[in-house]
Amino acid sequence: MGYRIVVVGATGNVGHEMLNILAEREFPVDEIAALASRRSLGTEVSFGDRTLKTTDLDTFDFTGWDIALFAVGSDATKTYAPKAAAAGCVVIDNSSLYRYDPDVPLIVPEVNPQAVHGYAKKNIIANPNCSTAQLVVALKPLHDRATVKRVVVATYQSVSGAGKEGMDELWDQTKSIYNPTDSKPATKFTKQIAFNVIPHIDVFLDSGETKEEWKMVAETKKILDPAIKLTATCVRVPVFVGHSEAVNIEFENPLDADEARDILRESPGIMVIDKREDGGYVTPIECVGDYATFVSRIRDDSTVDNGISLWVVSDNLRKGAALNAVQIAELLGRECLKKG
Ligand SMILES: NC(=O)c1ccc[n+]([C@@H]2O[C@H](COP(=O)([O-])OP(=O)(O)OC[C@H]3O[C@@H](n4cnc5c(N)ncnc54)[C@H](OP(=O)(O)O)[C@@H]3O)[C@@H](O)[C@H]2O)c1
């Protein structure tokens, strides 16, 4: 016997990938519903070799459904996730709405799978921000060995992290560089994104950091260890899919680059590509469609005691969102619901 699964936001970037990954990983699905807004009623989406027609989230009854994978923004999540949870359907949410709620587990299965048992408090589990997910996958095995003290991270985040509108804006602006009569004003990003980089993701906070930067701090503490100090600079770059991160890590205990490389090679969810030669590292375009978090450029940082530096790349729509959510559903099924 399998599960009755709902994908909420099935016409979006993350929703598409959720359907792909459920099919690819042969998740035990007895029945599946694809939901979006009324605007998309009847839109066809693929699920393996099947085609599903999307229905309207607003009129959907979650009673009798087991798991709802939510990939809509926080506003729609605020309205509909509590309804699904109250109907007995466990919500796995991709928005930031519940991530910092002490009664909602925030899970990356390679890092804190034990947290899944906390799902029953609200019938909701949160999925982290895309840039946090890949970072903590890389930090966890090194933290277990040498205890991470402080992290400095600069992100290079693709436009798909801002939804399908973000991808359209990069595409349209890139075309208009060659055909200026066709130019459209920037609406999704605050400055031109084509052939540019923008050091601003999400809103500014009073501290001067952006909410995206704050999220990386708060989520790393919640998922991995509240004692870890982290400072982030989050930057939007003109890449369609795949987030990259330049990471400097300071440890309590000695750890050198060779040992870190050996540890990372043996760790779940990680693929080490680290040759000190031309092209001996991963770039975002090469990680698209993959499950792994790729780690390259592992080297000692001689400016601090026990420091190493890394380059971490992953598909933000997969490990950063849809794959992680499906892995949580698998974990929930295995550990708690026990149906599949
Ligand atoms: N992209 C990433 O890398 C990433 C990573 C982690 C988390 N997330 C989070 O995942 C969520 C979805 O992101 P995305 O990139 O997939 O966005 P997207 O491509 O813009 O898609 C948004 C989806 O939400 C649906 N939707 C929006 N408002 C709705 C409403 N009121 N009722 C019903 N459906 C509604 C849209 O349906 P229509 O097509 O009908 O408008 C569409 O299916 C967001 O909360 C985002 O922050 C994204």
Mean pLDDT, the chain, whole residue set: 97
* Residue 219 alpha carbon to ligand 1 centre in Å: 20
- 14 C-alpha to ligand 1 centroid (Å): 7
Percent of the chain scoring above 90 in pLDDT: 96
130 is annotated as an active-site residue: yes
Q: Which residue has the higher pLDDT, 339 or 63?
A: 63
Q: Tell whether 181 is in a known binding site.
A: no
Give 84-140 pLDDT, tens digit per residue: 999 999 999 999 999 999 999 999 999 999 999 999 999 999 999 999 999 999 999
- Walk me through the domains of the chain, giving residue ranges and CATH numbers: 3-128+321-335 (3.40.50.720), 131-315 (3.30.360.10)
Q: Provide the pLDDT for residue 340.
A: 58
pTM above 0.85, yes or no: yes
pLDDT value at residue 245: 98
Identify the pLDDT of residue 338.
86
> How far, in Å, from the CA of 260 to the mean position of ligand 1?
36
- Assess whether the C-beta atom of 94 lies below 6 angstroms from ligand 1: yes
Which amino acid appears at position 103 of this protein?
Answer: D
* pLDDT digits 0-9 by tens, 26-37: 999 999 999 999
For atom 27 of ligand 1, the residue with the nearest CA is: 72
Residue 260 pLDDT exceeds 90: yes
pLDDT in tens, 132-162: 999 999 999 999 999 999 999 999 999 999 9
Nearest to 33 by CA among 24, 21, 45, 25: 45
Question: One of 89, 143, 234, 243 is an active-site residue; which one?
Answer: 243
* Catalytically annotated residue among 89, 130, 234, 287: 130
The token pair at 339 is: 């149906």
Over range 68-80, report the average pLDDT.
Answer: 97
Quote the pLDDT of residue 180. 80
Q: What's the mean pLDDT in 246-273?
A: 98
Percent of the chain exceeding pLDDT 70 equals 100
Contact 54, 34 (CB under 8 A): yes
Q: Give the distance (Å) from ligand 1 centre to CA of residue 13.
A: 7
Strands of 229-236's sheet in order across: 229-236, 148-157, 243-251, 307-314, 293-300, 270-272
- Residues 171-211: pLDDT tens digits? 999 999 888 887 778 899 999 999 999 999 999 999 999 99
73 lines ligand 1 (CB under 6 A): yes
Rounded Cα distance, 230 and 228, in Å:
6
**pLDDT at res. 303:** 98
Render pLDDT for 5-29 as a digit per residue (tens, 0 to 9). Answer: 999 999 999 999 999 999 999 999 9
Q: Which residues contact 181 (CB under 8 A, 6 or more apart)?
A: none
Sign of the Cα pseudo-torsion (95, 98, 99, 105, in order): negative
The reply to whether ligand 1 has any atom less than 6 angstroms from the CB of 314 is no
261 is in an annotated binding site: no
* Ligand 1 in reach of 76 Cβ (< 6 A): yes
For the segment 262-291, the average pLDDT, to the nearest whole number, is 98
Average pLDDT over residues 261-285: 98
